[in-house]
Amino acid sequence: MPIPNYLKTITFDETRKGSFTVLKVKCSCGSMLFDVFESYLDKAEREACKPYYDALDKLYTGGHASTCTIDEDGTVHHWVLFSSDLNGPKEEVFVPEPPVFSSIQVIKAKCSKCQKEHILFDSRYHGYSGKYGNAATNSEKEYVPHFRQKRRRDTLPVLLCVQLEYDDNLEEFQQNTGIACDYANYSDAYTWITIYAIDENGKKRKLFERETD
């Protein structure tokens, strides 16, 4: 069963359910109770993202459909179409580059006993898109996220379970992607992550999930 490198020292009890790896989280001090923190964008950052999301909104919901054209010099133009006719009325929408932090998501677990922090997911480095998608730029790497405690019904520390999905085994992965990686790197390149809190009755509640394809 693949287990990502960065989770190896803090997880145990791997079980397999179809294409899923299911791991429980345990701190190096032995405790299994954690407070969970998620990254968030502050007000200034959300405002910096607004022109980008407004442009997407106009493009995808402002008309009948959207399309793009590419000039000979490679310049891309986005258009919102007001009918199903490609040659019908349309308007160009300028889509600005999104700020580096717009899509960064980080989840960390803080041990309730020794206070050590463990990163459970960082979209810049983990999963297929973090590992083999567009490499994180320097400004993405330098970005320091803000964290807040993940909101739940209560703020008591919880047992955690991480479920990872792999679409392919190592051989299929190498064939389908053309990436000649070893097993350890393949293990980091899962395509979906879900993090659950486990309550006192053993019931799982979803805290976070993200497709990393």
Q: Give the integer Cα–Cα distance in Å for 35 and 117.
A: 9
Output the smallest distance, CB 10 to Zn ion, in A: 9
Q: Is 160 in the site for Zn ion (CB under 5 A)?
A: no
Whole-Å CA distances, 160 to 9, 24, 38, 194, 204: 15, 6, 14, 11, 9
Output the smallest distance, CB 26 to Zn ion, in A: 9
Burial 158-179 (b: 16+ CB within 10 A, else e): bbbbbbbbbeeeeeebeeeeee
Q: Candidates 20-28, 121-129, 179-187, 196-204: pick the segment binding Zn ion (CB under 5 A).
A: 20-28
Q: Candidates 9-17, 37-45, 103-111, 143-151: pick the segment binding Zn ion (CB under 5 A).
A: 103-111
Nearer to Zn ion, 1 or 29 (CB): 29
Nearer to Zn ion, 100 or 119 (CB): 119
Q: Is 31 in the site for Zn ion (CB under 5 A)?
A: yes
Q: Is 114 in the site for Zn ion (CB under 5 A)?
A: yes
Output the smallest distance, CB 160 to Zn ion, in A: 13
What φ, ψ does residue 195 adopt, rounded to 5°?
-115, 130
Q: Candidates 13-21, 29-37, 55-63, 121-129: pick the segment binding Zn ion (CB under 5 A).
A: 29-37
Q: Give the integer Cα–Cα distance in Å for 45 and 42.
A: 5
Element (H, E) at 160: strand 159-165
Q: Give the integer Cα–Cα distance in Å for 198 and 206.
A: 9
Closest listed residue to residue 10, CA positions, set 111, 96, 79, 131: 111
Number of H helices, E strands in the chain: 5, 12
Which residue among 107, 109, 111, 120 contacts Zn ion (CB under 5 A)? 111
Q: Is 27 in the site for Zn ion (CB under 5 A)?
A: yes
Nearer to Zn ion, 35 or 165 (CB): 35
Q: Is 109 in the site for Zn ion (CB under 5 A)?
A: no
Q: Candidates 23-31, 136-144, 148-156, 184-192: pick the segment binding Zn ion (CB under 5 A).
A: 23-31
Q: Which residue ranges make up the site for Zn ion (CB under 5 A)?
A: 27, 29, 31, 111, 113-114, 116
